[in-house]
Amino acid sequence: MIPEVKKEVIDLGDGRTISIETGKLAKQADGSVVVRMGDAMLLATVVSAREANPNVDFLPLTVDYREKFAAAGRFPGGFFKREARPSDNEVLTMRLVDRVLRPLFPKDYHAETQVMIQLMSHDNEVMPDALAGLAASACIALSDIPFEYPISEVRVARVNGELIINPSKVQLEEADIDLMVGASIDSVAMVEGEMLEVSEKEMAEAIKFAHEAIKVQCEAQIRLAEKVGKKAVREYEGEREDEEVAKKIQEFAYDKCYAIAKANTSKQERSEKFAEVKEACKELFTEEELEENEGLIGKYFGKAQKEAVRNLILDENIRLDGRKTTDIRPIWCEVNYLPSTHGSSIFTRGETQALATVTLGTSREANVIDLPTDQGEEKFYLHYNFPPFSTGEARPIRGTSRREIGHGNLAQRALKNMIPADCPYTVRVVSEVLESNGSSSMATVCAGTMALMDAGVQLKKPVSGIAMGLISDGDKYAVLSDILGDEDHLGDMDFKVTGTEDGITACQMDIKIKGLSYEILEKALNQAREGRLHILGKLTEAIPSAAANVKAHAPKIVKVEIPKEFIGAVIGPGGKNIQALQESTQTTIVIEEEGNLGIVEILGVDQQGIDNAIEAVKAHTFEPVVGETYTVNVIKVLDFGAVIEFVPGKESLLHISELAWERTNNVTDVVNVGDVIDVKYIGLDPRTKKPKVSRKALLPRPERSERPERREAKNRS
């Protein structure tokens, strides 16, 4: 017997709906729902351990999102035909959901918790990542796991001036705004996306529009929980508190931390001084008290330190490094630093440094995307690396982290729409973060811009980026430009904005306080614009415009169009022709079909080799035109004529009778091997069906009385 299903339907207002149902699948999980839009179906489950690990002082939350190939009726690629490690797109979706969910669990809840979201059925008209946040929150709302309030996420796009919730992929391709927004009924918590140089006001309007749709989705979750029967929140053992210990540390540490914060020191020096105060806190306790309260000492010291730094900013408008709220740290830039790369740059802002490189290639180097929900390729992509030495740490490297994928994607989205459509190259940017104390992703955008310009990529406009912060306490607040790492940690909002002089190209925002007013948000965005333009000025001082040409050692690329039917001739049997041509010209040649044409990409460093390759490709497609004159080479002499060559590989017989108007007894009386002569193409010989050329057709025709054959005939008579 099929179990009874409880269901709620959300009307998007344009004929589309989203349904949330529970009761049929995965009933041993603490909470499970199926979210459906069109034919797209996501199963979301949550399980949280009943007891926390006593040695853990944080929330061990795992958010996992997977797209099953079977959902789209496809086989996974690779030797082993099964899903393996998550794709970058799946990791990015996990991050979007995690960033909204994590702050809503109680701070003292430390039980192992796992949220799993799986795409079980795919619809080409539905982008499932926009439903993942709704699915995750809904399954938690049906469980007894402690959680503050439901949230949801939507994608908002602007197409032809109209804002749309959860657009299709086709609609998204036409959009000039693509934002993912996460929020509760009361507050926006997360924003991430890309835009085509829109204003701060337009971005704020899109966020407001998304928030209204999210409110409806949160209310639907509340109604569904009431239908199912809201479970009592489970009891759990929270963190131990001790007011006496907290008071002792606050009184001892607060003023000392305030003084250190005000002293305008470097990151390392400041960290050492804070560590000394923390150690001094331990001396306030006996050995027995220390053994019992060591964990509490660290926690309460952290609170005192955070409060001191925040109050310094709010009360005296002074930041950890002595700057005012709108000040940008000193910047220096350099391009063409690495001699062997196709483009390179260094961007250093305060204690953050990124070294970017650019590599140019053919379409063969495009980044292939093969996902259940998306197939295609990227001709521009950016990779971001964050080694431990950049923060003065020594720790093992265990592959690319989710953070590196997320930061690299943000920088890629910031720059990609500034790559011109007619750029013939596949372009790869790699950012190596060498120092970090505040937004290495924005440093990556700046370094990437300069490296692209250094490589000769003709960007539409240069792009810069800035990380902003917010400190607030009641009616008092301070918006911080170009935040430090410590300010990111202790602030109420951090957001990164990238753009050109004419508008925003990408953003990433995390809001940690409830009820942030749009007035403060717009003020922060406008302040970010001022900082972004200041940084942009520094970039264009270092490299005012893109290099006119690629570097001498960088590959040049030329595209040649040939009729589709000649592709096989250029490639040759088993690739014989194209391989030999690449070897002889020291080029890389890639051929793709587009309609009735073959698009031949020829890439090489040496211009002569490229020119030779172009000529060889054209030779394969050469077809003489009837009536046209051609300059040809004589490559062979026969008793009955000469073999001429139009272009390498295209030959024809010049019959002895077509050499001259006079009778020719020996071919070598007129032409020899190596001669260059002009011939006229007559067309196909109707008798032999072979091409026919003539030399005599280009020579003056003798008068009738002068013709040798007529005189000989008279003599015989």
Query: And the tokens for 538?
Result: 């520094």
Residue 456 dihedral angles phi and psi, to the nearest 5°:
90, 10
| HEC per residue, 385-451 | ECCHHHHCCCCCCCCCCHHHHHHHHHHHHHHHCCCCCCCCCEEEEEEEEEECCCCHHHHHHHHHHHH
First to last CA, the chain: 115
**H or E segment at 715?**
helix 708-716
Which helix (H) or strand (E) segment is 568 a member of?
helix 567-571
Is 669 annotated as belonging to a binding site? no
- What's the sign of the alpha-carbon dihedral 242, 248, 249, 255? positive
DSSP state for residue 595 in the 8-state scheme: T
Which residue(s) pair with 44 in the sheet?
33, 117
- Are the C-beta atoms of residues 613 and 605 closer than 8 Å to each other? no
Distances (CA, A) of 600 to 119, 422, 568, 581, 582: 39, 15, 12, 13, 13
Q: How far apart are CA 623 and CA 630, in angstroms?
A: 11
How far, in Å, CA of 613 to CA of 611, rounded?
Answer: 5
Residue 173 burial (CB count, 10 A): 11
Give 269-278's long-range contacts (Cβ < 8 A, gap of 24+): 270/320, 270/486, 274/305, 277/253, 277/301, 278/253
DSSP letter assigned to residue 673: T
Secondary structure string (H, E, C) spanning 27-79 = CCCCEEEEEEECCEEEEEEEEECCCCCCCCCCCCEEEEEEECHHHHCCCCCCC
* CA-based nearest residue to 72, from 109, 32, 124: 124
362, 424 Cβ separation under 8 angstroms: no
Q: What residues pair up with 11 in beta bridges, in sequence order?
A: 17
CA neighbours closer than 13 Å in the CB half-sphere of residue 48: 22
Kind and range of the H or E element at 282? helix 267-282
C-alpha distances out from residue 462 to 150, 337, 435, 443, 548, Å: 40, 19, 23, 14, 15
Tell whether residue 488 is among the known ligand binding residues: yes
Tokens 């692209």, residue located: 452
- Residue 310 vs residues 15, 37, 103, 379: alpha-carbon distances, Å: 48, 44, 20, 44
Go through 651-671 and write b for each residue having 16 or more CB atoms within 10 A of its CB, e for each that does not.
Answer: ebbbbbebbebeebeebeebb
For residue 584, give both structure tokens: 């002889």
CA–CA distance, 716 with 460 (Å, rounded to integer): 83
**Residue carrying structure tokens 């960007």:** 459
Burial category of 372 from C-beta neighbours within 10 Å (exposed 0-12, middle 13-18, buried 19 and up): buried
Tokens of 52: 């926390």
> Are 20 and 134 a contacting pair, CB within 8 Å?
yes
DSSP characters for 145-168?
Answer: S--S---EEEEEEEETTEEEES--
Annotated binding-site positions for Mg(2+) = 488, 494
Annotated binding-site positions = 488, 494
